[in-house]
Chain A
């Protein structure tokens, strides 16, 4: 393992070296304070869903208790309050991502829906027979399957940029695989299966030189680094609330307005129209054109509280803490005989994927669970990654701002005990 620590985060998201106090942070997270099978919970499944701080839970409860109403629909007081709160979060997200315009922020139910929106709508307008969509070999199924569906519908072709044995993207290959038929490059920012941080700014430069837009799957990056969509110069950026300490069922699609304006609606219904007759409907402007129906209002309110929480702690400090944990865990787990780390990219964040020779990840997961350690086992919705590394599944520990070095010790100890059971 190389390149971890302060050095590796110099480019993106690094704010201040001051370290955070995970013990103080833990006090804000009610779920963390429980025992599992008689052991204190060690929650290391953050890449699946991070826990929510009390402030997020409170914001949702307060909204339902005081301000609850539909948005954009009433002249009455509560509707105004709810609409203001909802739209305030859109401005928060605009700021978080440094988007040029809040009209470029669309609320969805998560990364998956955000990508499906682009696949469906951008695909409808811009992708035709014989065209190509470029993805990478480390994508989550959410950034594979929607493109396959478009390709099938349109007679287009999905092409996959390979990765090396460390789990790093082959940038040269990416460059040569962009052809005059390439209509979009869709790439994960941080791989949930490998932890690899992709150089999305470089990728956007390469693609833009050929006039090809870029979609970034930011599901794993927003909780770990500062995002500036204008600096990255990506055309689309997607993320989910539940991975940034927010609620489930809410997410964001950022899209440059030049694209969003030309794209047809994704779904039809209320809120996304200007005028409806049976002969013809004119659509609302951005962002409403892409938000048909009553949105997840409470979810958006919760997301706002989560982003506020994350920004108050400082995502750069969070990342610095997580990098130290990752580097400690990598060394400590890597020293256990029989352990093979899957994904050893020089730029990594948050995720430690591994297999143990002779023991299936499921058995590891079940055994460490009995010591209170929650990790994810399986293919992580990235079956092509598993095939690339010739494993059926991996075990994965993933870190958040509230994890501690002691927890890493408990985790590594539990893995050792799993190995003992099978020895």
Chain B
């Protein structure tokens, strides 16, 4: 019944989040907060030239936000900044139901396409991405999705 939202990949990344650690000595880190539900996430990013060489997160949140952060870190590694921005744009459109899921290859991130039926939960999945943006820009203030 919940195959559309709580797919096995999401449950798995919630149980065993990947890249769930701190990256020391990087200026690219930021904190995000969802005031509605109290979800918190920290994103750490290591850049070389224009490329993401390492990315990690730490957080406290629901299955959707944890799995989203975990899958995001996997998807970003090795991407250029421009590619990362594009990915976020496509991801954002998909979870808000604004484009047909197959219009762009989002790889594993495709598992979140079911979210468009759960508008109250979209922010759970996008919090980490907004926080990523802040980490890229080295913003210090806590990112808040509302």
State the interface size on chain B (CB cutoff 8 A). Answer: 20
For B66, the closest partner residue in chain A by CB is: A360
Q: How far, in Å, is B80 (CB) from chain A's closest CB? A: 33
Indicate whether A366 sits within 8 Å of B5 (C-beta atoms), given known contacts A383-B38, A392-B60. yes
Q: How large is the interface on A (under 10, 10 to 19, 20 to 34, 35 or more residues)?
A: 10 to 19
| Interface-central residue, B2, B11, B124, by most chain A CB under 10 Å | B2
Q: Please state if A386 and B63 are interface contacts (CB–CB under 8 Å).
A: no
Q: How far, in Å, is B128 (CB) from chain A's closest CB? A: 15
From B1, B2, B40, B124, give the contact of A362 (CB < 8 A).
B124
CA distance A367 to B120 in the complex (A): 13
CA distance A359 to B36 in the complex (A): 17
Q: Please state if A363 and B62 are interface contacts (CB–CB under 8 Å).
A: yes
Q: Is A370 an interface residue (CB 8 A)?
A: yes
Q: Please state if B118 and A366 are interface contacts (CB–CB under 8 Å).
A: yes
CA distance A370 to B37 in the complex (A): 19
CA distance A361 to B2 in the complex (A): 16
CA distance A366 to B115 in the complex (A): 11
Q: How far, in Å, is B144 (CB) from chain A's closest CB? A: 14
Number of A-B contacts defined by CB within 8 Å: 48
From A378, A379, A393, A421, give the contact of B6 (CB < 8 A).
A421
For B3, the closest partner residue in chain A by CB is: A421
For B14, what are the chain A residues with a Cβ–Cβ distance below 8 Å? 422
Q: Is A377 an interface residue (CB 8 A)?
A: yes
For A393, what are the chain B residues with a Cβ–Cβ distance below 8 Å? 37-38
From A370, A392, A422, give the contact of B63 (CB < 8 A).
A422
Sample (21) of A-B pairs whose CB atoms are under 8 Å apart: A360-B62, A361-B62, A362-B61, A362-B62, A362-B64, A362-B121, A363-B6, A363-B62, A366-B118, A366-B121, A378-B37, A379-B37, A379-B38, A383-B38, A386-B38, A392-B38, A392-B39, A392-B40, A392-B61, A422-B11, A422-B14
9 extra A-B contacts, CB within 8 A, seeds A362-B124, A363-B63, A366-B121:
A362-B61, A366-B118, A367-B2, A367-B6, A378-B37, A392-B39, A392-B61, A422-B6, A422-B11
